[in-house]
Each structure stands twice: as structure tokens, then as C-alpha cells.
Amino acid sequence: MKVSVIIAATSHENLEEVIRRLKNQTKKPCEIIVVDNSQNEKESEKIEKVVKNLGVRYL
């Protein structure tokens, strides 16, 4: 069975840790998708930077 994980991110805090923990699971997800659900542009930029550095999909 393949598992995809979708994260609705409202802030960049803890996002990097969450993604790293998902990637270190015994049963790794086939994909991790982060949906930017923040309310301001500065936070969106921070979320995008975290996501791009970790190689996951960003929407």
C-alpha cells in the first residue's frame, strides 16, 4: 500500500521537523505534499523555503 501525506501548513514553525520525521518512518510515505494555508506573504515565503530545501511538493 502506498501512502501520501498532505500537510496544510499555516506557519513554518515545526514544519521542517514534521517532514524529517515523516521521512524517517519505517513505512515512508510515497509522497509528501505541503499546502500553504498561511495568511500572509512573509509566512508563505518561509514555508516555501523550508519545503524546497527538503524536496517535497509545495502547493
CB distance 43 to 13 below 8 Å: no
What is the predicted pLDDT for the residue at 10? Answer: 94
Model confidence pLDDT, tens digit, residues 1-55: 899 999 999 999 999 999 999 999 999 999 999 999 999 999 999 999 999 888 8
Structural domain count, the chain: 1
For the chain, the straight-line distance linking the first and the last C-alpha, in angstroms and rounded, comes to: 24
* 24: DSSP letter: T
CB distance 5 to 30 below 8 Å: no
C-alpha cell, 43: 509566512
CB distance 1 to 37 below 8 Å: no
What is the predicted pLDDT for the residue at 13? Answer: 92
Domain housing 43: 4-58
Read off the pTM: 0.86
